[in-house]
Structure 1
Amino acid sequence: MAIEESCSGALRSTSVAPPAHYILKIQQFSLLTKQHVERYESNEFEAGGYKWKLVIHPNGNRSKNAGEFVSAYLAMADSASLPPGWEVYATFRIFLLDQNNDNCITIEDEMSEGRRFHQLRTEWGFDKFICHKELSESYLHGDNCVFGAEVFVSKEASKGKTESLSMVKDAVPLKFTWIFDILKVDLFLESSKIFNVGGHKWKILLHYMGVDDANHDFISLKLALADLDDLPSGTMILAEFTLRIQDQLNARHEERKASRWFSASKPDWGWNRFISQGTFFQANRGFSLKGITSIEAEVAIHGEKTVFG
């Protein structure tokens, strides 16, 4: 490999060896510029245990004022699958085949320790890889050209924690109805069947005699997460929910509404004094019609926070 020049922090050299990891052949290169293709990404290729892409800006990277040049970059591919806090240091070369002399020019960064790829910077390369004039005079053969890439991972690390908050636009509430014989429930705690909303399992909790001695004259109702064993540590779910005891005679339902964050440390929310037993059993109300009670949960998931690492 012969060193030709060094400029702008990049080392340019000539090599007779082809690129070891990826070759990108482009036919009718001028059509990319005429069709105003701003960015072309190659297929993924593997090197050093990671997946990469070669990225070409035929008309130069406009954000870098490189309009008279072709810009070329190396980009991490599928970075979303990497562990939290990932860092990869890599040295790399980008090649351009000189088809007349059967060799390649290569551009590599002079940073001997390599560039640091991470979650906020997944792409490194050269804004002014080669000017259009030099490309057309020396490296286009019948309007075809060949790029290449070599990547060598020098150091990698995974550290720290990553928090991801995903909010849901226009969340749609889902309903679940629990019908049962109130005279046959456990006096202390009864649970509904499990139902699914927002990718999580839920259930309704009913304390017929209240949650403690101070509330034994009241029926308690709560919404609870039912998949705690599968819930990742640090996960929190923002749920807007309504619990409703249906009046089967007059449609004068008893209901409460709230919006709360649910988590493994706080898996349920509700009301210790949802309704008094005196009101519940009033003859002119249909909360217990021949012993049958109908409770409805209406749940919408507005967001979810997950912490990794």
Structure 2
Amino acid sequence: MKPKWGIPRFMPLKTFINPSNGYLVDDTCVFGVEVYVIKSLGLGECLTLEACPQPVSHKWKISNFSTLGNDRYSDVFTAGNHNWRLQLCPRGDQHNIYKNISVFLCLVDSGDQKVKATYTIRLKGRAGRTHQMTGGYWFSGPNKKWGMPSFLPLTTVQEYLAGDEFVLEAEVQVLGTVRKLP
């Protein structure tokens, strides 16, 4: 990391020029150095914090909920210069099948960056009824989705439906990113 290295006061000048010490002979001296090169295995990262992170809201209308079988994905939206989307598992994820709806926030195309974000996911239903969960997560590598496997029990979802539809809303705020140094 340093281009040069040394000892600022190796020995007193009086000691160096005294002929009886043998460092200076006939106004000549010889310096030597041994260099050991150690391959560094350390990885460097650069953390960039957002100065004034702005939350971004994305609304997704879910229609014909009772007929949905497979997972659904929202359109991609941008928050903090990163692309995101919501994943809805209308019959629950693999751990909550036929018990709860599962909702996840997914980071799309971030490369090898880690992204720290806070989020609120809301289900908005009839008569202004709202259910929400809030969290924060480092989205990175294989962990580019995070959310709520047990967002809302399937039996309770019926209370929110307005004509077999509701709105999922994600509010995402990117706090910072980490990237690898070259």
Q: Does TM, normalized by the shorter one, top 0.5?
A: yes
Using CA pairs below 8 Å that are at least 6 residues apart, which structure has the higher relative contact order?
Answer: 2
- 1:202 correspondence with 2:100: no
**Displacement, 1:217?**
1.5
Aligned to 2:181: 308
Aligned to 1:171: 53
Superposed counterparts of 1:87-106, under 5 Å? none
- Superposed CA deviations along residues 127-178 of structure 1, whole A, max 9, x for unmatched, are xxxxxxxxxxxxxxxxxxxxxxxxxxxxxxxx86431001123311010000
Contact 1:178 1:296 in 2 (8 A): yes
**Displacement, 1:180?**
2.5
The SS at the match of 2:93 is: coil
Superposed counterparts of 1:184-263, under 5 Å? 186-212=68-94, 214-227=96-109, 231-233=110-112, 235-249=113-127, 251-263=128-140
**Displacement, 1:186?**
4.3
The SS at the match of 2:51 is: coil
Contact 2:118 2:174 in 1 (8 A): yes
**Displacement, 1:215?**
3.8
Kindly report structure 1 stretches of 4+ aligned residues shifted beyond 6 Å: none
Letter in 2 for 1:279: T
Aligned to 1:273: 150
Superposed counterparts of 1:10-159, under 5 Å? 116=3
TM-score by length of 2: 0.72
- In the alignment of these two chains, the number of paired residues is 146
Contact 1:188 1:210 in 2 (8 A): no
- Superposed CA deviations along residues 1-28 of structure 1, whole A, max 9, x for unmatched, are xxxxxxxxxxxxxxxxxxxxxxxxxxxx
Identity %: 23
Query: Partners in 1 of 2:54 and 2:111 — Cα distance?
Result: 24
Contact 1:182 1:293 in 2 (8 A): no
Query: Partners in 2 of 1:182 and 1:221 — Cα distance?
Result: 17
The SS at the match of 1:304 is: strand
- Superposed CA deviations along residues 269-293 of structure 1, whole A, max 9, x for unmatched, are 11111001111102xxxx3211222
Contact 1:215 1:273 in 2 (8 A): no
**Displacement, 1:219?**
0.3
Root mean square deviation, CA, Å: 2.2
CA 1:180–1:164 in 2, change beyond 3 Å: closer, same or farther? Answer: same
TM-score by length of 1: 0.44
Gaps spanning 5+ residues in structure 2: where? 5-39
Query: Partners in 2 of 1:253 and 1:182 — Cα distance?
Result: 19
The SS at the match of 1:291 is: coil
Contact 1:191 1:206 in 2 (8 A): yes
Query: Which is greater in Rg?
Result: 1
Aligned to 1:183: 65
The SS at the match of 1:279 is: helix
The SS at the match of 1:278 is: helix
The SS at the match of 1:271 is: strand
Gaps spanning 5+ residues in structure 1: where? 1-84, 88-115, 118-158
